[in-house]
Chains A and B, each alone.
Chain A
Amino acid sequence: MTSNALFAIGTLLSWVGWFFVLRTVILGASLLGNGPDLDKPRVMKDLGPAAATAAILLVLASLMSMKGGTAVGPGQWRFPLVWFVMPYTAWLGTFCFAMGAARLVQAWLALNGEEQVARFKSAGSWGVAVVIFVGLYIGDKTSSVTILKGGIVLTVSTALAIILLAVAALVAMALAGRAAATRGFARSLISQIALIVGSIVFGLPFAFLLITSFKEDRDMSSANGIVWIPKVQDTLPFFDKKDPVFEGTYQGQTVQGSIIEQHPDGTVRVDIFKPLAIRGTTFDAPKSQLKEVPKDAPIVTAVLNKVPIKGLVVENLDDGSQRVSILEPANLKGTDATFSPGDIQPVRHPGLRWQNYSEALSYLPPETNSGLVYLKNTLIIVIFSVIGTILSSSIVAYAFSRMNFPGKNALFAVLLSTMMLPAAVTLLPQFLIFRQFGWIDTLYPLWVPAFFGSAFNIFLLRQFFMGIPMELEDAAKIDGCSYFKAFKDIMLPQIKPALAVIAIWTFMAAWNNFMGPLIYINSPENMPLSYALQMYNSDRGAEPGLLMAFAAMTMVPVLALFFFAQKYFIEGVTLSGLGGR
């Protein structure tokens, strides 16, 4: 228990120490920032003690003797860390206990009797909660609290590096802050730091996606953490005399392959290996139709008889070893040597492996035309959904907002009540209905319903129509304008921004729709991108490079739309989220 207590104290000291470091940084930054209402002497007065406290606490923390936990090597020390692994009952109990204690202190400090009573009451209810959670904790036999002990190991160099980094950050922020030296400088500074850190955390998965999509297979996993700088293999074009590669035409597309059979009539049989989707297909062609093309042979280094050499891998042998044609040194040039894969190092340079993208597409079934069919299907769904939703929702909303008809209120109430209905309820019968139409494995079930309006969009557009002054329309009607013309020419242009928002929602919903295709679509020719990506994921899940490349490609159109129509996206969120307001 004493060692646990020691750890806890050490941790506390280090955390408080870090707090003072931060405070020192902020004070120092505001000093450099030189804002207009800067109280220089006061800041100076605060700065010294803050820095001193930080230093003392951190040194103390790092010097705490530590029993248990992992050992520290020579020249290292560490900041103690403690974490409690507790079941939720214990966490909630602790929280309630802390709240109750705080209320008790408040009650003790209360100014008048009335407040005191209120505080005591509140403390009492927190106390009851504590009792409940303690009861639950004891009642569950499996619950136990584990105290994890350890520390952040630091060496002199890492500590120095951290200090240097902190100073550099301080200077950089101060320089940036100088330009924006206004009131609330310190707050702005903190939020800038937090936002930059946040951006890094939020951006990491994106960076991971993009970088993975450009990585070679060998960089996908590494014992030293994620590989963040993709490298590509250096290659040289190489005409293989033993197994030449030929380019020809098969069913209208250019293919590469090797000759596996010579026929007496002068034609040859070609085994295709590129594009990958029809790899392994063979076809017959006259030799004159084929053109020999070079292979991309990887450049490697190795050691041959204690002489370092550089060469091209020209053949993969059956036993797994590789034949290398030597390029350097000059006296060995042109000779061959055989190495086992462990003995050769590839020559690589930092770069992006764009082939991941083309390869990802070439693995798709040939009938999908390198994935264009998926895109076409998605676009069909998206475009028809958007058109359908806009047309139907706006005209229905117009009728509900601007026209009078018997039963209007009752119908509108029905419309509102359908907003609550989860799609799950109608999912199965709708499937049976579309099945009756013979629409299974077609795109119709995915966009036809859009032409019948959606309750939420109708509701929203109605609100917009209500906001348009009556006079505009009345004037038009007096001029003998029909209802439809009034709607089309006068009212519709007024709500363009709202329509844009709805169009974007519909676009996103249709683009992302997954359960629909999952239920209705079977064949690759009818699959939209979302479903195709899931299929690709389960098919090629082991090849993250290709998978991430494919995923990136499905994201691009949406991200592009986002950058061009950001305003409407943001407006859309606000509209939907403030719903009832």
Chain B
Amino acid sequence: MDSVTMKLSRGLLPLLLAIAGFAHATPKRDLVVWGVSVGQDQKGQDAVIREFARRHADINVRILSMGAGHMDPQKLLTSIVGNVAPDVINQDRFSISDWASRGTFRALDDLIARDKDTDPLCPTPEQYYKAPWSEAVYDGKVYGIPTGADNRLLYWNKDIFKEKSKELLAAGLDPKRPPKTWSEVLAYSKALTEYNRDGTLKRAGFMPNFGNSWLYIYAFQMNAQFMKDSKTCTLDTKEAVAALNFMIKGYDLIGGFEKAKSFESGFLSKENDAFIVGKVAMKIDGDWILADLARYAPSLNFGAAPPPVPDDRYNHVGVFKNEKETYVTWVGGFALAIPKGARNVEDGWKYIKFATSLEGRLIEAKAQKAWEQRRGRTYMFRQQGSKVANETLLRDFLPGEKKYQDALRMHVSMAPFGRIRPASLAGQKLWDEHVKALEKACAHSASPDEALMAGQKAVQLDLDAFYNQKNYPTVDLSIPLKIGVAALVAVLVGLVIWFGRLKLGNLAKGEAKWAYLFISPWLIGFLALTLGPMVASFFFSFTQYDVINPARWVGLRNYQDLGGADNASVMKALGNATYLACIGVPLSLTTGLAIALMLNMAQKGMRFYRTFFYMPAIVPGIASAVLWTWVLTPDPNKGLINSFWTQTITPWLSVPPPSWLQSAGWSKPALIIMGAWGAGSGMVLWLAGLKGVPGSLYEAAGIDGASPSKQFWSITFPQLSPIIFFNTVMGFIGAMQEFDRMYVMKPSGDGPVGVDDSLLTPVYHLFRNGFAYFKMGYASALAWMIFAIILILTFTQFKLAPRWVHYEADK
């Protein structure tokens, strides 16, 4: 059929082209692929998809990139539980087991076993390095096929080493080679670090967590295991403490974590990367920086070496006496997987086989290389999970310059020594907690042991919740539904009987029937969409329920977690909401009031100004969030506010511009400034209020000789107090439920909402628990906590109101 169509289309092309839109004689099968980015600089992936589509004319490949290749876990879970799952997903490999544990991925073992011998494209474990392959294996089953495998190396700036050779030689160090051990890297760092006159960093030798190292790489070098087995988290071990101590030393050496962080925040990624601009002499990073180095700093003279290891490991003494691998590195990357509930598993598997095969990998490299060359850039191939692919790329796609060749060779040669993050159902949580612990310990706000212990406990809690769930009885969710329906029927029957017995005249009865009919839309909505869900939500708050697996009755545990295990996040969210409300609400109100007072005084242009000041308030929320993300961009060459800041405040007071949304301290002030911009709706309100103040009051006050400020405080303010009151209440309630702005404006795609969760609000926390972790039960408990707080707030504010709110009717 297809070939016939092809022939026909050749012959009748003029005609067929005209009606090309209708020319699909055979309906194509849809293949929905998520998380694959086909953006401007992603010609490689694009080429793989196009080639696949060309070979399978009966498949219609649909790409949903979901934001620059980054896959939003919330979207995937909603699609799976909503039975609209994609067929293939490109997913960060370390999170696959986390997800597989919840039954969100389809195991691929049967497909591999079936095609192993018949299909040359079929992936087998032998083709892959051990680490990347096993990263997507959970509980003995394969859930994803690795694509890239980015390992980390120590990149060192040869020019800086040369420049500081005197200092290095004085310290007994060789300026021609990179450090090999921990003590060496610290010594090099000390010799290479330079300070400004005011004590701030001018150039850092080595910042332990700058680039992409985290605690993981150092812990791997100590042979630390973050998970003892799938059920026990061992974040806090003496190996991990030793690794963390090394990081702390590294930071203390250059003046402390805070100083290093503020130095770091002065740079951005890409062309402004601190290593690229020569402000950091050494960093541990993945192979992705090669493309940036080639593109933005072609003249930079750098070297790539295995990451420095503990001295004992290097010398093979002590606990490392029998250690075979001197150098180890950390490897990450993505994998292609098939979600549970995928409708087109066969074609999905076809796609995975093709994309991960040597052929697919080479098509990607070739297309990407052609693209880069067209743009005048040097192509740097990316490290692969597949051994064969990596070696072929090294042979056929090596760039011309020696420094890049050396770096790529070093990456490939380190590939067999890659270690991976433990495959665990709490993988994401472990990651988040380890970041927290590392930051706390490096800033000396907790000892390494304490910080790691706190993280370990938090992870263990999630593990226990999963492995102990069998201790909790399952509950049939239809039981409460049945009870509810039964209760409803009973109540309705009762009401009908009660209605029949009422002594009403015919007329009144008729009226009542009509009235019930009229209010029925609300009544049905209330029962089905408010009361029912409320009851259900209350019921859920006593269960552990992830929509995919049966619910378990956990009693009060969710509520205990609010005050216990998850208390830090809950308090953070409430604290942020309070901050935003306590400073943001009064500021917006006063801004609005100031404009309104001005408008009231001005005799001309009232309508024009009113329109103008009100306009920001009606700009759609997402559009204004997008706009303000740019207005608040820290780079003074791009961001509106910082552009002004560097031209005024910096020269006046020598204060560098803040990094707004990118920093924990400034992100909330940033949102507050943005909120003040939208103060127009408040202004309209104040104007209406001001118009309502009787002029006779001012006249009387004027005769008594009251000053304008006196008039404001004793007439205007009391008269406006109901508006102030109402808006304060609403402002607080609103701050608790803020979500849209934070979602759009948070700097990183996933993980914390703003740096250190500085933009987390209670409703955001609920959303995250409900739709990202699918902890429906816990999220319901959160919802009830929010409800309770709102009730208490409103109630107390109404209680306090009579003390200062002036109502006309009281007189």
Contact = CB atoms under 8 A, between A and B. Distances in A.
Interface of A: 69-70, 81, 83, 148-153, 180, 182, 184, 187-188, 190-192, 194-195, 198-199, 202-206, 208-209, 212, 220-223, 225-226, 249-252, 265, 267, 280-282, 285-286, 289, 316-321, 365, 367, 391-392, 395-396, 398-400, 403-408, 411, 414-415, 418, 420-433, 435, 438, 440-441, 449, 451-453, 455, 458, 483-484, 487, 508, 511-512, 514-515, 518-520, 522-524, 529-531, 533-535, 537-541, 544, 547-548, 551, 554-555, 558-559, 562-563, 566, 569-570, 573-574, 577-581
Nearest to A449: B529
Contacts of A267: 10, 13
Contacts of A453: 521-522, 525
Interface stretch (B139-147, B415-423, B508-516): B508-516
A547 B599 CA distance: 34
30 contacts: A70-B651, A153-B652, A226-B643, A267-B10, A289-B13, A392-B521, A396-B522, A398-B518, A425-B786, A428-B770, A440-B78, A452-B525, A453-B522, A483-B511, A508-B618, A522-B64, A523-B32, A529-B620, A533-B623, A535-B67, A538-B67, A539-B39, A554-B622, A558-B620, A569-B614, A574-B688, A578-B685, A578-B722, A581-B722, A581-B723
Contacts of B13: 267, 285-286, 289
A226 to B, nearest CB: 5
A544 B630 CA distance: 8
Interface stretch (B205-213, B247-255, B384-392, B533-541): B533-541
B640 A428 contact: no
Interface residues of B, number: 143
A317 B84 contact: no
Nearest to B610: A570
Nearest to A187: B601
Interface in B14-69: 14, 17-21, 32, 39, 43, 46-47, 50, 62-68
Interface of B: 10, 13-14, 17-21, 32, 39, 43, 46-47, 50, 62-68, 70, 74-75, 78-79, 81-84, 373-377, 495, 498-499, 502, 504, 508, 511-512, 514-516, 518-519, 521-526, 528-530, 532-534, 536-537, 540, 547, 595, 597-599, 601-605, 609-616, 618-623, 626-631, 635, 637-638, 640, 643-644, 646-647, 651-655, 677, 680-682, 684-685, 688-689, 722-723, 726-727, 733, 736-737, 739-740, 743-744, 749, 762-763, 766-767, 770-771, 776, 779-780, 782-784, 786-787, 790-791, 794
Contacts of A316: 374-376
B794 A199 contact: no
Q: Which 8 A-B pairs have the closest CB atoms?
A: A452-B525, A440-B82, A320-B376, A538-B67, A429-B533, A399-B518, A405-B512, A426-B533
Given A153-B652, A404-B512, A577-B681, 5 more contacts: A202-B616, A205-B640, A405-B515, A422-B736, A452-B524
A522 B79 contact: yes
A514 B629 contact: no
Contacts of A574: 684-685, 688
A168 B161 CA distance: 59
A519 B779 CA distance: 15
Contact of B744 (A441, A537, A563): A537
Contact of B626 (A531, A537, A558): A537
A39 to B, nearest CB: 18
A280 B43 contact: yes
Contact of A404 (B64, B511, B654): B511
B537 A392 contact: no
B508 A538 contact: no
B783 A427 contact: yes
Given A204-B640, A433-B533, A403 B514 contact: yes
A529 B621 CA distance: 11
Contacts of B81: 435, 440
A406 B532 contact: no
A564 B631 CA distance: 29
A351 B601 CA distance: 39
A316 to B, nearest CB: 7
Given A249-B17, A422-B790, A538 B68 contact: yes
A540 B83 CA distance: 29
B623 A441 contact: no
Given A191-B602, A318-B373, A441-B82, A205 B677 contact: yes
A566 B611 contact: yes
A515 B736 CA distance: 15
Contact of B640 (A151, A208, A405): A208
Contacts of A222: 637
Given A195-B602, A570-B684, A574-B688, A424 B787 contact: yes
A408 B537 CA distance: 27
A421 B790 CA distance: 9
B489 to A, nearest CB: 18
Contacts of B766: 424, 427
A269 B19 CA distance: 19
B205 to A, nearest CB: 27
A558 B519 contact: no
A547 B626 contact: yes
A312 B42 CA distance: 29
Contacts of A551: 623, 626-627
Contacts of A566: 611
Given A202-B677, A286-B13, A538-B68, A428 B722 contact: no
Contacts of A581: 722-723, 726
B603 A182 contact: yes
B621 A514 contact: yes
